Structure 1
Amino acid sequence: MIGGTGLEAVALLDLRTESIATPYGKVTVEIGRFEAHDELIVFMSRHGKGHTVPPHLVNYRANIWALKELGVRKIIATAAVGSLSSRLQLGDIVLLDQFLDFTKSRPQTFYEGGGQGVLHVDMTEPYCRSVQAVIREAGESIGVPLQGGAAYVCTEGPRFETPAEIRMYQILGGECVGMTSVPEVVLARECGMCYATIAMVTNEAAGIADHPLTHQEVVESLQAAGKKAAGLIQETFRILRHEQDCRCQMANAEVGKF
């Protein structure tokens, strides 16, 4: 599970902290389990303790590499998003379907040529349909409605977007906007891992909202949605199985590094 601010309601038992050395730096995670759940769960705070790492400086490669080293096969990530669409309202829980990448300075791949090789990874279905089906099943089980099929616009951050940018994203088909899913989702696919995002609509984007956007507004909205999202996450992990039954695991077969 990759998350952070707003998910304080997600509580793991028998918690221990572990540091993993990767070629891209050291990563600290917490490992525990939900009550009455045998599988160990790795929790990673994307922005670090106290939300101290901005989205454009998150060490995405180190994070995903560390999860792979720990034997993780499936990742459920959480994200705060701004709505670009009238169908996505404040407080909605959204499953992402596609992305539009407007990041600028982030390493996008583990495969940078030379001895590492080159991988043109298939992103036809960026977010694992199999894991999404489990999340939907969990939502139905506990009565949490989900919005699906959303196209996510990933911006560089840490600034918010201008109204002109938001209008452009809407023209291109974007329905929500955030700053973290890319390259996280791409790197997970390169490692043959399943990846799905549970997004929480925390604000209306610039030009749609009738007031200036603030980080505090996002934090407060996340905290309000936190209990609902935490219940969905816990139920999802209760029924999620470690084995992969999709094509995500074959994404890097042409280079065979993982």
Structure 2
Amino acid sequence: MTHPIDLAVIGGSGLYQFPGLTNTSRQRIDTPYGPASGDVVTGDFAGRRIAFLARHGESHSLPPHRVNYRANLWALHHLGARQVVGVNAVGGIRGDMGPRVIVVPDQVIDYTHGRFTSFCDVDGAEVRHIDFSEPYTASLRLALLDAANKAGIAAIDGGCYGATQGPRLETRAEIARMKRDGCDLVGMTGMPEAALARELGLDYACLALVANFAAGCGDEAEISIEEIFAHLKAATEAVPPILAELLKS
């Protein structure tokens, strides 16, 4: 490959284009699993070559349960990516994980249903039982945390991401249950993305951007979508400098 991919980035809500990319090209990848969320944009950033894909589409047209996670991961792998950072908008359950906080989680609980969760979900495919004890690649997690530190950006090390179905937000009772289960964050796109990356042998880590306190965890009687996107916009500004430091290493 003429331009090897040093890092692939999957952008979540609020991150539909990657700022600072130069020498860009767009590719629509045909996959055995149908269309990806959109074109994969490759370009130069911090002296390296990255691939960027907007998980929900560049116009946020795909709700979490309609994202073709298999096609997205397959397309990035097909282009030569071996390391993937998933940027995810989340709600905070733990008290220190409030709006605009950045977290690099280390565990996940999957509450989703009805999604294609494996590349084995195809007739004739080999059935593979991956080890998913640690759902995120430890070396990439630590590199992200180190990069955030070098960029002067606070990031919390560890936490359990609870993945819900969406697109609706959760009830107070559901969040209370998740808290009892040990979840620190709640989001709608963390799974099956992490598991599919593991099946493909990709290094994968999550950069979670807290947009709001989850239901019943903050002072607000009702969660405001406008406030969510305002917090997301502010938190998203930290993504390029963190990834720039990651690529330098």
Q: TM-score with structure 1 length normalisation?
A: 0.88
2:52 counterpart of 1:43: yes
Per-residue CA shift, 1:202-227, capped at 9, x if unaligned? Answer: 10011123231233222111111122
Aligned residue in 1 for 2:149:
140
2:10 counterpart of 1:2: yes
CA distance in 2, matches of 1:9, 1:25: 24
Any gaps of 5 or more consecutive residues in structure 1?
A: 240-258
Aligned residue in 1 for 2:246:
236
CA distance in 1, matches of 2:90, 2:164: 11
Q: How does 1:88-99 map to 2 (within 5 A)?
A: 88-99=97-108
AA aligned to 1:132 is: R
How far is the alpha carbon of 1:4 from its aligned partner? 3.8
1:115–1:175 Cα change, 3 Å: same
Per-residue CA shift, 1:188-210, capped at 9, x if unaligned? Answer: 00000010011011100111232
Find runs of 4+ consecutive structure 1 residues off by over 6 angstroms.
none
CA distance in 1, matches of 2:151, 2:21: 19
Higher alpha-carbon deviation: 73-82 or 4-13:
4-13
2:194 counterpart of 1:185: yes
Where 1:236 maps in the other structure, the secondary structure is helix
AA aligned to 2:40 is: V
CA distance in 2, matches of 1:135, 1:69: 24
Q: How does 1:171-250 map to 2 (within 5 A)?
A: 171-209=180-218, 210-239=220-249
How far is the alpha carbon of 1:179 from its aligned partner? 0.2
Asked if 2 retains the 8 angstrom alpha-carbon contact of 1:32 and 1:42, the reply is yes
AA aligned to 2:43 is: G
Per-residue CA shift, 1:36-83, capped at 9, x if unaligned? Answer: x1x321000000011111000000011011111111100011011111
Q: How does 1:46-195 map to 2 (within 5 A)?
A: 46-112=55-121, 114-195=123-204
CA distance in 2, matches of 1:194, 1:113: 23
Any gaps of 5 or more consecutive residues in structure 2?
A: 1-8
Q: How does 1:8-19 map to 2 (within 5 A)?
A: 10-19=19-28
CA-atom RMSD in angstroms? 1.4
Higher alpha-carbon deviation: 41-50 or 114-123:
114-123
AA aligned to 2:108 is: F
CA distance in 2, matches of 1:201, 1:144: 14
Count of matched residue positions in the alignment of Structure 1 and Structure 2:
237
Higher alpha-carbon deviation: 106-115 or 216-225:
106-115
Where 2:176 maps in the other structure, the secondary structure is helix
Higher alpha-carbon deviation: 54-63 or 109-118:
109-118
Aligned residue in 2 for 1:250:
none
2:30 counterpart of 1:21: yes
Asked if 2 retains the 8 angstrom alpha-carbon contact of 1:25 and 1:62, the reply is yes
Asked if 1 retains the 8 angstrom alpha-carbon contact of 2:95 and 2:217, the reply is no
How far is the alpha carbon of 1:114 from its aligned partner? 4.8
AA aligned to 1:6 is: G
Aligned residue in 2 for 1:256:
none
Q: How many percent of aligned residue pairs carry the same amino acid?
A: 39
